[in-house]
Amino acid sequence: MTTARNPRSGDGDRAGSPRRRSRVGAATPRRSRPPVPARPAWVPLRRPAPQASPALVLPLVFAGAAVVTLGCWAGPASTTGVAGWLAWAGRLTGLLAGYACAVLLGLMARVPALDRGVGADRLARWHAAGGRLTLGLAAVHMLFATAAHVARSGAGVLEGTLGLILHGPAILAATAGLAILTAVGVVSARAVRRRMRYETWHYLHFLTYGAVYLAFAHQLTGPDFSGDPVTTTFWQALYAGVAAALAWYRFLTPVRRALRHRLRVAGVRLESPTVVSVYVTGRRLDELGAEPGQFFRWRFLAPGMWWSANPYSLSAPANPRFLRITVKAVGDHSRALARLRPGVRVWAEGPYGALTAARRRGPRVLLIGGGVGISPLRTLFETLPGEVTLVYMARRDEELVLRDELDAIAAARGATVHYTVDDLTATTTGHTVPLTGRSLRTLIPGLADHDVYLCGPEGMTAAARHALRRAGVPSRRVHLERFDF
């Protein structure tokens, strides 16, 4: 571990670590010399967009579920017989499944207020959990509705089921929609998804739009909508609003921004044998409103890459001249970035993410980054006001990318950066810090009073969260955003 401190501050290195200014991992040009970051100073380009708090969003979702099922709860007083109770249960679960479909699509509509306030990773987790719940509700609805029909008609189970599916009001289309949703749910299971390319999984999810469309007509045939124009209008407005948000934010906005900003690759810079920085220029970049810590979904219109949009964080604060991402080659898309040529057109969806200064609760901040996870933390290290400390962890020296920039930022603002590597047999850095509560408390005095931002591999962030908990840092002060969704 080594500690870089502003020489003018008069502070020595902590924990007896030697001061080193190794150039291991320093950036070298590739093909063209892209623009370089300006001095370590940043001014917000415009007022941040409104944000929706998670504490507000979830209660609204549950309140909506209560409203859409309000009429259903008056049913038990007049319900009699087994068939009546089965029909009532089918009615309730059907309403909840239909409402959940609208909520699931709304969560993934990439509405800026939701994305900035809740965070893309948390929205994705809500979406995944809600998807499992929706499939369960839809299956139970189908089971209860079929059982009620069989009980009332007196037909056999197989005959009654086939008759309901083939001749019931829009039930055949709804059954097809449920089959599609089930198939998407299967490929979204972790064990299955790990065997698929991200792009394949991503585009299969578009089938959910068709599945919901197939089921919508059947929803309006329920007893809660028959002869009730108010309820029917509300339901149609709910789905129309979600459809409008999806069309605007997921499809029209990327096209509109691509035409307005005209983003192009300015150059590619090799940061280490496996890490590159891509510089992107364009028009009116100040209008993007990107905050330090945020990311875009990048689509490079180069052969073999145009059909994939992957999330990469900004590794330098956005400015009117250029945007920069720093990416490690871990898949086909990220490896192809090193072969990009200047002039390639770029579509960037965003900015997204809630790992920003808005999460900070106090004046003291600790940033813990691992490997190329330093990208969003590098922007926060430069721009967060107050007392900021950075702990940068890697396996080897060459994985400590952007080190020269981090040293320059530390010197300019009087901040502290600790470098720590695992492989002590081939390092010039000198020391390693075990990721334990005791080690972090020793390294960072007053750690429990810090806000902590985490970004790195899943194993590192899990270990860091455990260590921070043991060190007495409240969970509300630990902020992270994951891309494994």
- The residue among 481 and 36 whose pLDDT is bigger is 481
What is the fold, at CATH topology level, of the domain defined by 2-18+355-480?
Rossmann fold (3.40.50)
pLDDT score for 426? 53
Percent residues over pLDDT 70 in the chain: 87
Task: Give yes or no for residue 28 having a pLDDT over 50.
Answer: no
Return the higher-pLDDT residue of 8 and 54.
Answer: 54
Lowest mean pLDDT among 277-281, 282-286, 421-425: 421-425
Looking at residues 278-282, what average pLDDT do you find? 96
Indicate if 260-352 has the same CATH topology as 2-18+355-480: no
Residue 465 tokens, joined: 């969260």
* pLDDT for 425: 62
Average pLDDT over residues 50-71: 85
Average pLDDT of the residues of the chain: 83
Partnered with residue 275 across adjacent β-strands are 272, 328
pLDDT of residue 119: 82
Structural domain spans, the chain: 2-18+355-480, 69-256, 260-352
358-392 pLDDT, tens digit each: 889 889 999 999 988 999 999 999 999 989 999 99
State the pTM of this model: 0.78
At 185, is the pLDDT very low, low, confident or very high (cuts 50, 70, 90)?
confident
pLDDT at 286 over 90: no
Please state whether beta strands 346-352 and 323-328 pair in parallel, antiparallel, or not at all (unpaired): unpaired
pLDDT > 50? residue 12: no
Q: For 215-269, how does the pLDDT look when each residue is reduced to its tens digit (9 = 90+)?
A: 998 988 888 887 778 888 889 999 999 999 999 998 899 899 999 999 999 999 9
Q: Which fold has domain 260-352?
A: Elongation Factor Tu (Ef-tu); domain 3 (2.40.30)
